[in-house]
Amino acid sequence: MECLPYSKVGGMADVVGSLPAAQRELGCDARVLTPLYPRIYKGKVGKELGSFEVDIGGTMHPVRLLRAGHHAVLVDQPTAFDRDGIYADPITGVGWSDSLFQCLVLQQAARTALRQGLLKADIVHCHDNHTGLLPAYLKQDDGPASVFTIHNLAYQGLYPPEDFAITGIGAEHFVAQSPFEYHGNFSLMKAGLELADLVTAVSPGYAAEILCEEDGEGLDGVLRARGDRFVGIINGIDTAMWDPANDALLPANYSLDDFDGKAECKRTLQERCELDIEPDTPLIGIVTRVTSQKGLDLIAPLLQWIARRGAQLVMLGTGDPSIVEIFHGAHGRWPTRVSMLEAYNEEAAHLIYAGADLFCMPSRFEPCGLSQMYAMRYGAVPVVTARGGLRDTVDPFDDEHPDGTGVLSYWATTDSFHGALEYALDLFAEPEKFARLRANGMGRDFSWNRSAAQYLEQYERIRH
């Protein structure tokens, strides 16, 4: 439902936008089908590829397919996608009441385009619950094989059983223990997990975690039943877009070999956030959605300690009003130490990665996480919980592991994260040691090359 540069809410947009480009560099003719949100995407749209109608619950809806960029096709259906937000009203935060209709329009558009030959594919790669029925449609049509990627198992696309009628699959298929039924409700996620030819998670660590009852969101048994048809592949990042040496959104560019520009980025960030302009003060950055998953409530009790410790903190994010208010309140109490930027802004995000010395992610769980990789590339040392993709991408740094890239909290608790952050601040106070830690992270390769190749190997596996 989201794909850069056409739409974005979270990290899935980065993945869906950059993975196909990396695969094309490896010789795979990868294309993206994604909604056109005319109020969100203001860029150029290419020629019409074709038009048809899709049947959603007995009502026909016109659809146009429009070319965009080098490898994207946009689904133009105003009733479904001509709105201000992707998943929810951006003002109230309330999810769209017709979200199932939106998902079905996208999936039926993909199905029809394949049927009519407007699009051709050997493999159809589906992302998260919003595309959970597409593997079922492809099997009904004797279509191409499918891969289903879990970006976040917590968002399952659950709907009341009566909503199944508008899918066009047939009421006889909605029975207990079927791929579509989940404790009496209708589940898009479960359908994708059971019916895709291959299921992937966005990191090996997260794949291992969700096989267990504690983290499996009630679907761990379904995943265990997939056996070797369930694998974890770590996400990469677009290293051309996220490159401090060439980032046009920064006030100064820099690299590991020419580091002077980072000091200018830090000064600019402090200035814009009305913090004290102190080059030697440790500056902590956070860029996140403010949800329970992200663990911001774990760091909220530490804000007074951070201010009194002589550090600074800048957070960019929107979400849970009760948590956001805590950070606004901390800014009111310590305006030169804590800053809260509530409206998401891409330029501000890049500036925080570039201006911060440390980058915090106290996530309760993290399927992959991209922010820690952006942070390392920009020379901000990650302080993270050892969960999912964070554990896969951040190696602990200490005297016995001098090649590490960050600091890990091994429990998702305030006390544990307090200890990790205190250790990170102590490291900052040792310039030579901190410089090595920062350089270790900047030197890591987080490009899509390896992961894109792993996906191609899996495609070949199920194609044959």
pLDDT at 91: 79
Q: Would you give the distance in Å from CA 165 to the centre of its chain?
A: 31
The answer to whether residue 288 is domain-embedded is yes
308 and 204 fall within a common domain: no
State the DSSP string of 59-98.
EEEEEEEEEETTTEEEEE-HHHH-SS-SSB-TTT-PBPTT
Write out residues in the chain with pLDDT < 50, as ranges: none
Domain-embedded: residue 271:
yes
pLDDT of residue 90: 83
Instruction: Answer whether 250's CB lies under 8 Å from 272's CB.
Output: no
Beta partners for 123? 145
pLDDT at 82: 97
Residue 35 lies in a domain: yes
- pLDDT on residue 89: 87
56's tokens: 């959603």
Q: Is 48 helix (H, G, I), strand (E, B) or coil?
A: strand
Decide: 103 and 157 in contact? Cβ < 8 Å.
yes
Query: Is 161 a domain residue?
Result: yes
Instruction: Specify whether 61 is located in the same domain as 199.
Output: yes
Q: Which domain holds residue 70?
A: 11-236+448-463
What pLDDT score does 162 carry?
Answer: 96
Same domain, 67 and 174: yes
Same domain for 121 and 186: yes
DSSP β-bridge partners for residue 59:
56
Tell whether 2 is covered by a domain.
no
Query: What CATH number is associated with residue 425?
Result: 3.40.50.2000
Helix (H) or strand (E) run with residue 365 in it: none
Determine the distance from the C-alpha atom of residue 187 to the mean position of all C-alpha atoms in its chain, rounded to a whole number: 21
- The answer on 284 and 396 residing in a single domain is yes
Clarify whether residues 295 and 191 are in a common domain: no
Q: Residue 105: inside a domain, yes or no?
A: yes
Instruction: Answer yes or no: do 62 and 45 share one domain.
Output: yes
In this predicted structure, what is the pLDDT of residue 452?
96
CA-CA distance, 243 to 365, in Å (whole number)?
A: 27
The residue among 133, 131, 132, 37 whose CA lies nearest residue 77 is 37
Residue 248 lies in a domain: no
Same domain, 218 and 301: no
425 and 452 belong to one structural domain: no
122 lies in the same domain as 163: yes
Q: Between the CA atoms of 162, 167, 170 and 172, what dihedral angle is there, to the nearest 10 degrees? A: -40
For residues 330 and 418, state if they share a domain. yes
Question: Is 254 inside any structural domain?
Answer: no
User: By CB neighbour count within 10 A (0-12 exposed, 13-18 middle, 19+ buried), where does 168 fall?
Assistant: middle
pTM across the whole model: 0.93
| Angstrom distances, CA of residue 257 to CA of 254, 442, 446 | 8, 10, 18
Phi and psi (nearest 5°) for 440?
Answer: -55, -45
| Residue the block writes with tokens 């056409």 | 6
Domain count for the chain, please give it.
2
Q: What is the pLDDT of residue 92?
A: 82
- Both 426 and 355 in one domain: the answer is yes
